[in-house]
A and B are shown apart, each in its own frame.
Chain A
């Protein structure tokens, strides 16, 4: 079945880069997404990448996709305390569904 895996926790210092990793299983995924969840709030779409792309950059965010290894990463440059949140990786699969990972808690120390 479909499965998306992420590491559970990442701690970085303010100003450093953060890299959050994700692996997925469905090779037919057309889109892969990164969502951010702040405390007490719903998920907000951060960025997404189409499966025929290797990289997408959006200001401080860089998404890298290794389709051969089914590996997705999100790099946040110059991480700020406001970036502290839970980050979810998700893949789109057949049947009108997104499958989410369990989320990575990012803690930014000032």
Chain B
């Protein structure tokens, strides 16, 4: 049972580089989310997609873009990485709004 799969697990970027974090879920969930986790700050919502074809900003969207490619996949793109984006990124999915979340294992990103 794969659940929520994120790739890559680790990534090091130089300031200004771009990259896309991939996320896929096999639970037929409608909603998908991207969070970042920083020490002492818990998880903060970057973007979410309530259903296929829709995306909305969360608490900290600046510097990121997302694509809900289909019901299974939700990608997060950093167009020009900055050191402030060094963090652990988690993708999650849920059956519907305000439902319990299922998380991927995370991507540890360092921007030098």
B67 close to chain A: CB less than 8 A = no
Once A42-B90, A42-B106, A96-B56 are accepted as A-B contacts, the answer to whether A31 and B42 lie under 8 Å apart by CB is no
Pick the 5 closest A-B CB pairs, nearest first: A42-B103, A92-B98, A100-B42, A102-B42, A100-B43
| Secondary structure call for the A interface | strand
A17 close to chain B: CB less than 8 A = no
Taken residue by residue from 73 to 112, chain B's Cβ proximity to chain A (1 for < 8 Å, 0 otherwise) reads as 0000000000000000010100001101111111000000
| Contact in complex: A88, B104 (CB < 8 Å) | no
CA distance A35 to B43 in the complex (A): 11
CA distance A54 to B91 in the complex (A): 31
Contacts of A101 in B (CB 8 A): 42
| Contact in complex: A43, B101 (CB < 8 Å) | yes
Contacts of B35 in A (CB 8 A): 100
| Contact in complex: A96, B42 (CB < 8 Å) | no
Identify A97's interface contact among B4, B48, B104, CB under 8 A.
Answer: B48
